Amino acid sequence: MKHYEGMFLLHNRDPGGSEEEPAATQEEVVKELLDKIGGELSYSSVWANRKLSYPVKGNQTGTYVLTYFSAPADSLVELDRHVGLSDRVLRHMLVGLEALPSTEEIPGPLADSGRSAGRRFEGDTVEVKTAEGDEEQKKVWELLDYKNPQVLRRMISAQGKLFSRVRSNLHAKSQRRLRRAVHRARNMALLPFVGR
């Protein structure tokens, strides 16, 4: 079995359950999808409930569910089919992992709806507020992940173009990592494709 990080985007419309049989929560919807393919869910949480960067299937807002799970590699095609048949899931993205992360390595919920409060850039370092309220310095390249849209937004011009290596001050490997993270964030409607 291989390990995966899954990000699922679900719509916020009323699912329409009854009093006898209430509608499933967002986490239950994702868990049912993974159960259908024989996946073993390790961690699941509602990561963010926010306005999307662009409309997805007519929806302006959505709920992101972040999961870590193990599943057979050949079952991902079946998962794509079940997601396509689901009326609650708008998009999903799977990222292969070498090993499942520990509980300390799992990112917390995205509390900020797109503004960069709590993160201040100084050269090639960023001040990040931890859960305890302390501030710590991190290198920008350590935060290049599609789950950090605040950091990625600072690496994109007003027209939506990615900064060159001269302007981003990143070496080649980190620049490729930045490009991959921006593409993933745009696919999941965390960043817009073009500037406004």
Confidence band for 169, pLDDT divided at 50, 70 and 90: confident
Closest by CA position to 178, among listed 196, 161, 195, 158 = 161
User: What pLDDT digit, counting tens, does each position of 21-55 carry?
Assistant: 566 788 899 999 999 999 999 999 999 899 999 99
Mean pLDDT of the chain: 82
Number of domains in the chain: 2
Does 59 share its domain with 130? no
Does 23 share its domain with 62? yes
Q: β-pairing, 40-56 with 125-129? A: unpaired
State yes or no: pLDDT of 157 exceeds 70: yes
Range with lowest mean pLDDT among 5-14, 28-37, 100-109, 121-130: 121-130
Please state, for a pLDDT cut of 70, what percent of the chain lies above it.
78
* Residue 133 within a domain: yes
State yes or no: pLDDT of 126 exceeds 80: no
Give me the pLDDT at residue 121, please. Answer: 45
Helices (H), the chain: 26-36, 76-85, 149-153, 165-168, 172-187
- Residue 152 sits in a domain of what CATH number? 4.10.640.10
Give me the pLDDT at residue 129, please. Answer: 52
Does 148 share its domain with 82? no
- Residue 8 sits in a domain of what CATH number? 3.30.70.60
Give me the pLDDT at residue 116, please. Answer: 41
Lay out the sheet containing 59-71: strands in order across.
40-56, 59-71, 2-11, 89-97
Range with lowest mean pLDDT among 65-69, 93-97, 146-150: 146-150
* Residue 36 within a domain: yes
Which two tokens mark 192?
């817009």
The CB density around residue 36, as the number of other CB atoms within 10 Å, is 13
* Residue 71 within a domain: yes
Does 73 share its domain with 13? yes
Contacts of 177 (CB under 8 A, 6+ apart): 141, 144
* Residue 19 within a domain: yes
* Residue 178 within a domain: yes
User: What pLDDT digit, counting tens, does each position of 79-99 carry?
Assistant: 999 999 999 999 999 999 999
**Looking at per-residue confidence, does 179 or 115 come out higher?**
179
Closest by CA position to 155, among listed 139, 169, 134, 137 = 169
Beta bridge partners of 3: 70, 97
The whole domain housing 158 covers 119-187
